[in-house]
Homo-oligomer: A and B are copies of this chain.
Amino acid sequence: MINNQIYLDNSATTKPYDEVTDFMKLIGSTCYGNPSSMHSMGLKAQMLIKEARASVAETIGARSKEIYFTSGGTESNNLAIAGYIEANPRNGKHIITSSIEHPSVLEVIKYLERKGFKADYIRPDVSGKVKIEELSNALRPDTVLVSIMYINNETGSLQPIREIGNIIRKSNPKTVFHSDAVQAYGKIALNPENDNISLMSFSSHKIHGPKGAGALYVNKSVRIKPILLGGGQEYGIRSGTENVIGICGFGMAARVCHEHLESNNEHCSKLKEILKEGILKNIENTVVISDKNSSPYILNVSFPGITSEVLLHSLEQKNIFISAGAACHSNKSGKSYVLAEMGCDKKTADGAVRISLSMFSTEDEIRQVIKELTEIVPILRALKQKGCKR
């Protein structure tokens, strides 16, 4: 428990490791050279970035030169899609994605549609998994790019990435596969090359690193163009003086979380099971939205008859922090397009919350959450039935 807070909104963002904030402070105070400066203070900053790049590369079995640092997951997704399209104008005008991608994927593809591209948005089944057959049927000779996220940020559904990679490879070796792995990186073992993924996006602040840093993996065989132009940093792919403090924090977080990848995974799997069983046992009429094979870090669960925002604020009074959906966009309507696409009825969607774990989550915290939910949910249901606005 951190400052008596039970923080279970780790898919929105995570607490930076102490090692990370300490390292960032040290770098900020002592290694403040500009990596582009020709003197040793510049070189030192350059070496720090090189180290961070090697750290990130190592965690996914990639070469250092395949890792480009960005300002975060959103920029990585934008750069992957727009940068690939810009660099390969003759590879086709058709894009495939899913209807449950993060807005930083969907909005770029909608933008490209306005510029003359065609796009297919593959829908998920009831479990939140993208329909493989639909995707397979949508592939065309002029499909330039397929973008499917690794793990959905709202439901935790693990997408059939390897299968999709194989289908793409067989259908058209020229079609490039991008995966937004922001919710998967640092949670499960990833190797983009093995999955036929040419472009993969990562975010620092989802793995106990700082916000404002991320990376894009670009397979060595693939060429992209920058979206930010200028001094030519990051091998010409991402101009702008490097966020040295943020990149160092990200590199450190990547190392630390991958040291404990498996044990963290087991730890969260166990907690998620306790949470799910506890809720199902104690609160009647509960719908578990996250499917069996979803991320151990995310439980999406609905209490039909309540409004998720109200539950969120009620739990907040008890120092418990969860989410009514994804936090990564400023649309605060609370209406989840992900659940809608999965075919969730309105009542279930309205009562859905996301409880997302981290390696710092404890069994005591989970039991406390079950206790509070067991008390609060029936009260909120009764109040809502009475037509009380709360």
Residues of chain A whose beta carbon lies under 8 Å from any beta carbon of chain B: 3, 5, 7, 9, 12-16, 18, 20-22, 24-25, 28-30, 32-34, 36-42, 71-75, 77-78, 102-104, 107-108, 111, 203, 205, 210-213, 227-233, 236, 239-246, 249, 309, 312-313, 316, 321-324, 327-332, 334
Shortest beta-carbon distance from A271 to chain B in Å: 20
Complexed CA–CA distance, A54 and B252 (Å):
32
Say whether A21 contacts B16, CB under 8 Å: no
Name the residue on B nearest A234 (C-beta). B330
A327 in complex: contacting residue of B42, B203, B232, CB < 8 Å? B42
Cβ of A212: which chain B residues have Cβ within 8 Å of it? 71, 212-213, 241-246
A229 in complex: contacting residue of B36, B38, B78, B232, CB < 8 Å? B78
Shortest beta-carbon distance from A321 to chain B in Å: 5
Say whether A231 contacts B103, CB under 8 Å: yes
Cβ of A24: which chain B residues have Cβ within 8 Å of it? 24-25, 28, 245
Name the residue on B nearest A240 (C-beta). B74
Say whether A9 contacts B102, CB under 8 Å: no
- Residue among A7, A21, A22, A38 with most chain B CB within 10 A: A38
Say whether B39 contacts A13, CB under 8 Å: no
With known contacts A34-B328, A212-B213, A231-B330, A39–B9 Cβ distance under 8 A: yes
Complexed CA–CA distance, A74 and B240 (Å):
5
- Residue among A229, A232, A242, A331 with most chain B CB within 10 A: A229
The 9 closest A-B pairs by CB, nearest first: A212-B243, A231-B329, A104-B230, A74-B240, A107-B229, A71-B71, A13-B34, A21-B28, A12-B34
Say whether B32 contacts A228, CB under 8 Å: no
Complexed CA–CA distance, A111 and B212 (Å):
26
Say whether B312 contacts A39, CB under 8 Å: yes
Cβ of A3: which chain B residues have Cβ within 8 Å of it? 30
Say whether A75 contacts B228, CB under 8 Å: yes
Say whether B329 contacts A232, CB under 8 Å: yes
